Amino acid sequence: MHLSETAHRRRRIGQTRLPSASRQEILSDQRCGILVVNGSLPTFGGTMSMTKSAHTTPPLDAAARRRAPPVLTYSVEQLPSLDAAFYNGARAELSKVTELMVPPRDAKAFEVRAGHFFRIVSVEGPQVGDLNLWNAHDLTERFYSGKTRALHATHLSTGDRLWSTFPRLRPMATITHDTLDWYGWDEDGAGVHDIIGTRCDPYSNLLLKGTEYHHCCHSNLTRALVTARDLSLEEAEVHVHDVMSVFMCTGYTRDTHQYFMKASPARPGDFIEFFAEIDLLVALSACPGGDCGASHSDDTAKCYPLKIEVHRPRESALVGWQSPSPNKYSRSHGTR
Ligand SMILES: [Zn+2]
C-alpha cells in the first residue's frame, strides 16, 4: 500500500469507527450504582473517582451543555502538505548503511543522517520499543509527543510525522511504511505505535511497587545516551523524553479513561520505517515488558531483541528535497 492511500485509510477509520466497549467495561458490573472494575471497589479520591456519583448537582441545562458538537482541535489540513510521491520514490531503491541489534531490557543509540531512512524490525518475537529522537547537533531539540499527538493522533502510522519541541516545532521524521497499518482501532479502542504512554520508569515503579528496578525504558535510554554522547548519568537523564512506543498496543478504557495495554500484535518480520527529516540521534529501548501484554518494569515478561536498519536512498531521489527549517514564529510573545 502506498503512503497516500494509507494516510487516507487512517483518516477514514478515525472518522467513522468509534471504539466499542473496553475490556474494563466488559469486566465491570453496575451494582447499587457503584461501578466495580476488575472486581475491586473504587475508593474516594482514587483513580476511580470519575466513575462514582458526582458530588455536585448538575445544572438544569447539563444535557444541552454536553451536546456541544466536538470539533477537531487542530486544522491538520493546514499542515505543510505531505509529498507522498517524493517519499515513495525515495524508498523505492534503498541501500543498507548500518544494522544493529538492541538487546532485550537495554537500549542503543545511533545516528541517522537527514534524507536517510531507518527501520525498527521485529525479530524473534513480539517486542515493544521505546523511541527517543534528538537533533544530532542540539539535544535540546527533541521529539514532542504531546504536540504530535494533538496534531495527528494517540497512535501513529504511515504518513504521520514526529514533531520537535518548541521553538523549532518541525518534522524530525516522517513514517513512510508500517506493516501493522492494517490494525487500525480494535474492539477495545486500542491502536498500535503509542504516543500516550510516556515510557516505563524507575520512579513510578518505586512509587507503585516500593522496589528499585534499573532496566525500565527510561533508564535504558539514559544509559544509551550516556554512551552515545559521553555524558554523565545526570547530564543524560534530563534529555530523555516522552517516547513513541513502537509496536505497543494501548488505549484508554471507555468507562474510566484509564491507560491500558494489551499484547503487541507485532510478529517477526514486522517493521516500521521512518524518513529522517533532519540529522538525528536516535535511541531505542527494548522494553522490559516484552509484548507489554501483562507487565512491565520487571524481569517477568519474555523479551526479544529489536533490529535497527539504516538505509540510504539513491542520491538523485533527494534532488530538490530540503530539510525542514525551524518554525518561523518571531518569539516576541507579544512584547514588541
Ligand atoms: Zn518500557
Q: b/e map of 210-237 (b: 16 or more CB within 10 Å)?
A: eeebebbbbbbbbbbbbebeebeeeebb
- Pick 136 or 7 by higher pLDDT: 136
Give residue 199 CA to ligand 1 midpoint distance, Å.
5
How is residue 116 written as a grid cell? 536517510
Residues 6+ away with beta carbon under 8 Å from 4: 82, 84, 159
In sequence order, what E strands does 297-336 have?
306-313
Is the pLDDT reported for residue 40 higher than 90? no
Give residue 218 CA to ligand 1 midpoint distance, Å.
7
Is the pLDDT reported for residue 321 higher than 90? yes
How is residue 300 written as a grid cell? 517477568
Give residue 105 CA to ligand 1 midpoint distance, Å.
8
Give residue 223 CA to ligand 1 midpoint distance, Å.
14
pLDDT digits (tens, 9 = 90+) for 208-263: 999 999 999 999 999 999 999 999 999 999 999 999 999 999 999 999 999 999 99
Starting at the earlier edge strand, list the strands of the sheet with 117-122.
Answer: 94-102, 306-313, 117-122, 271-276, 171-178, 161-163
Give residue 286 CA to ligand 1 midpoint distance, Å.
7
Total Cβ atoms within 10 A of residue 145: 25
> Which stretch of DSSP H or E encloses residue 281?
strand 280-286
- Pick 206 or 21 by higher pLDDT: 206
pLDDT at 54: 83
Rounded to whole angstroms, the Cα distance separating 80 from 83 reads 9
Give residue 103 CA to ligand 1 midpoint distance, Å.
13
**Residue 261 one-letter amino acid:** M
Mean pLDDT over 119-133 rounds to 98
Residues 6+ away with beta carbon under 8 Å from 224: 106, 107, 108, 109, 283, 285
Give residue 307 CA to ligand 1 midpoint distance, Å.
16
Give residue 217 CA to ligand 1 midpoint distance, Å.
4
Q: b/e map of 107-132 (b: 16 or more CB within 10 Å)?
A: bbbbbbebbbbbbbbbeebbbbbbbb
pLDDT digits (tens, 9 = 90+) for 172-207: 999 999 999 999 999 999 999 999 999 999 999 999
pLDDT at 53: 74
Give residue 215 CA to ligand 1 midpoint distance, Å.
8
Cβ contact 168:325 at 8 Å: no
Mean pLDDT over the full length of the chain: 88
pTM of the model: 0.86
Give residue 71 CA to ligand 1 midpoint distance, Å.
33
